[in-house]
Amino acid sequence: MGYYIHTTESDFRIKKEDFGKAFDRACELNRHDELKGGGTFGSDGGERWFSWVTPNYHETCSTFAEILTEFRLEPMYQDGDIVELNFESKIGDEDVLLAYIAPFVQDGSYIEWQGEEGERWRYVFRGGVMYTAHAKVTFPEETEFSKIDYRVVDSKVVPYVITFDPKTDAFVSRMREAKA
């Protein structure tokens, strides 16, 4: 079981000179049991971990890239800087990590996501903070259904518009007016 999500677009930037500070902060995150959504171990719930992440990742990972990978985030690089993050898996605690390292993410960065049921959202980074924006689907103003059909009239191809006439309960075809 689990809910699958994936990134649809990403412009996520962290400069390589900030990798060390981002690594330290991501390791520090592991001390915050209250943020861990993966589960617990022990009758007293003594050990907690982030979803789908090794409990002692802060000890087993030696680079910032390894921590991103541990959280199932796939970084893409340009000139040594991270310029994009990709993800395709079950939802976990990747949002917690991203929010926690937000102070090192360049302003204007974003990651767009889509869930398995079609919902879409975006994480946007500004001023060292991660914000969430949920997509709203809107439809343009309604217009009458029509279809363009082409016929040969006097050796010329002429466009016709086909519409439905509810009065006659039939489709009606008329020559399409030329646009000025």
Residue 12 in contact with residue 84, Cβ under 8 Å? yes
Rg, Å, the chain Cα set: 26
Closest listed residue to residue 96, CA positions, set 16, 178, 30: 30
Q: What is the DSSP letter of 13?
A: -
* In contact, 80 and 18? CB cutoff 8 Å: no
The number of CA neighbours under 13 Å toward the Cβ of 132 is 9
pLDDT at 168: 84
* pLDDT at residue 2 in the model: 83
Write the DSSP string, 49-118.
Answer: E-TTS-TTHHHH--SHHHHHHHTT-EEEEETTEEEEEE-EEE--SHHHHHHHTGGGSPTT-EEEEEETTS
pLDDT band at 20 (very low <50, low <70, confident <90, very high): very high
Average pLDDT for the chain: 89
pTM of the shown model: 0.76
pLDDT, one tens digit per residue, over 29-63 is 998 888 888 876 655 556 778 889 988 999 999 99
Q: Which two tokens stand for residue 143?
A: 């217009």
